[in-house]
A = this chain, B = another copy of it.
Amino acid sequence: MTQFASRKGHMTLPVEEGQEDVVLDLYQRWQADALRDSDGTTMPDSLAEQDSDIYSVMCLVRADQAYANQHPEYLHRKYLMSFPVTAMSDRVAIFPLDGYSKDKYELDDDSDPKQWWEVRNRTLNKVIPTDKWTFDAQYQRIDIEDAIPYHEYTITFMARQVWDSVSMYNALTNDWKGPRIKSLDPYHPECRAHLLQHFAHWLETHPNTTVVRFTTFAFLFVIDTGEKNQDIYRDWTGYGETVSPRALEDFEQRFGYKLSPEDFVDAGYYNGTYKVPSQQYRDWMTFVQDFVVEFAAELVSMAHQAGKKTAMFQGDHWIGTEPFLESYQKIGIDINVGAVEDGVALRRLTDSGGDQIREARFYPYFFPDVFREGNDPVVESMSNWTKIRRAMLQKPLDRIGYGGYLSLANQFPHFIDHVTDISRQFGEYLDNTQRSESQKLPGKVAVLSAWGTARSWLQNQARDQRFYVPPRPDVMELVGNNLLECLSGLPFEVEFISFDDIAEKGIDPDIKVIINTGDANSAWSGGDCWDDHNVIVKLRQFVAEGGGLLGVSDPSAWQKNGRYFQLGDVFGLEKETSLTMGRVAMPLQIEKHHYLSQFIQGDEDFGNPSYVYPQAQDLTVLAAQGQHLALTARGYGSGRAVYLGNLPFSMENARLLQHILLWLTQQEETAHAWLSNNPYVDVAFYPQTNKATAVNFTDETQKVTVLNTDGEPQSITLKPYEWRWFDN
């Protein structure tokens, strides 16, 4: 197998026992340089001894099932709120687990209910004193006395998880019949000691492994499961499954106050990442992060001492590791692996700090839900790849990879060829960019949300998403407003800032445009973060002094002082929330002579009607849906403001966003080198290698004329889907 060493590749290839020939073939064609096992597959001995990197999956908290079965007290716990029960008399009986999966959850009998649980009257939002209820352990029931008829009651209880969510999903998806996998909580020192010992042994017994691929360290994202074993709540970045009495006690020691069960269940909202986080939840996140970083650093150090590199998969038990926070670098990880389905996911991988290698694990995963008769996996892959390529042009990506059953993928030769193309294009990208960054337009663009940097490049779920049933639960296909996807492929320096950043540090002078995009009440728009006149004043000043402000959907939405959009005075408009229906609608006049007018054809997709109307005489209306504003522009002092009702992702909308950002930064009259104005062609320039590139995203020939760095026009014609490289 000496051919493995003949050419260095850039791809991590999943392997499978009995598929050794396929592996050898694809190793070449896909330009692989690393092999990996996956959940459900193991590394064939013959391959593990080859001269390539060998990634071995390590999910330590799931690694020792015997120990997990012996120690239910160390299983993952979480606070769940029972479904509300209405009192029909003065006595109420509630079975806390009613409505939840009995295969997954048990009532945690290690934590005293009277100490750790909470019974609430939800109609009055009052805690019921512990002497007014009793827990019947035999019947797993709470009885409440002196209830008030027609009031609702809930139990917030600690549940023990006896089936790991990801294992459960994989088992149910693939019809696996093996034992139900449990996860251990390493916060308990005894458990941690055992897991470290287990890991030490594992390192010793895996001499061929060159890269430990952690999947991941301690705590899983949040999936709540209903009584039919269906998902009922998901939060891929939520901290809800990190709780134990021991950790709560330590938290109280450190932060000087006690968290209540309600801080976790949050009236049934469970601190969803789309919500503006409470201070308690932020503190808990800090607490968890500090623990996980410290624990992960120990594991990484052990791997390094064993002469192995480490990779972290940004998924599964990744809670507490936040690549965009500085603390992440303390872990010492070598390779960040991200599951990447679009440009936003790629930027989430490529834009974090530190000098880790970035490896994108592409979709589809080689599982039978996609690789089944009658389905063409190339469709999903191509849709992803066109989005990912745009974002790759903006920030360097180091490696790519796949996961799952290679035997399944190999039944689709068309798909094999397609990945061969992807990998070849990726190789050319590496050759030409040498992992350097493309040139950006002047002026930093900041996206303002309640989270700021901690949730950089996280998809901003919108209300429409809730009413879209995706084909698969593990892939997020964002519907409706998706400004971030448009932005992910544009040549602007982007950062994510929070309201706290503005309050504490003001606005960085490098920032030339601030974007606020999202539905009202969401962390993305900001919710009650807008209930702060200091922030409002700083943003007004920022625009008045020459800055650009871009609002999408419900920017600055917070009902107060006669406004719903707190910066409606800057945008020159207002949203109708049933409080201003007496204001008379005037027929809108669409402006045809504004700089941005030339980019509006009238057939743009601006998503849902905005319910936003003009509230300034000097507002320029560029596009509307009936009488609903869709795109407006306005001067404010020396600066400019643009409002967009929604910006679903499309190549047209992405290029429109580029023009809007150029207008907002007052650079619309400036000549820019290597800047495409064709929506279907992206162009980028790499100063370090002096290479330029152009990509055609369509199945038709495309032409574009751009200036080179000397200002000379270059006319480029690209064949369907062609990706070409040039010398400057």
Contacts and interface: CB of A to CB of B under 8 A. Distances in A.
Nearest to A238: B582
A52 to B, nearest CB: 40
Given A267-B561, A468-B627, A584-B234, A152 B637 contact: no
Nearest to A575: B463
Interface stretch (A381-389, A398-406, A429-437, A532-540): A532-540
B578 A463 contact: yes
Interface string A572-588: 00001111111111110
A235 interface: yes
Interface string A533-551: 1001100110010000000
Nearest to A625: B467
Interface string A108-123: 0000000000000011
Interface stretch (A418-426, A518-526, A669-677): A518-526
A521 B577 contact: yes
Chain A at the B interface: SS class: loop
Contact of A230 (B222, B231, B584): B584
A137 interface: no
B467 A581 contact: no
A168 to B, nearest CB: 14
A585 B267 contact: no
A322 B586 CA distance: 31
A169 to B, nearest CB: 12
Given A150-B541, A269-B579, A611-B467, A584 B536 contact: no
B150 A582 contact: no
Interface string A17-50: 0000000000000000000000000000000000
Nearest to A553: B578
Interface in A605-629: 609, 611, 613, 617, 626-628
Contact of A579 (B230, B272, B541): B272
A562 interface: yes
Nearest to A154: B562
Contact of A151 (B151, B537, B579, B613): B537
Contacts of A467: 576, 585, 609, 611, 613, 626-628
24 contacts: A84-B562, A86-B569, A99-B617, A150-B537, A232-B583, A233-B582, A234-B582, A235-B582, A268-B562, A272-B579, A272-B580, A274-B582, A463-B576, A465-B581, A466-B581, A466-B611, A466-B613, A466-B627, A467-B576, A467-B626, A467-B627, A468-B627, A520-B577, A521-B579
Interface of A: 84, 86, 88, 99, 122-125, 148-152, 222, 230-235, 238, 267-270, 272-275, 461-463, 465-469, 473, 518-522, 525, 533, 536-537, 540-541, 544, 560-562, 569, 576-587, 609, 611, 613, 617, 626-628, 637
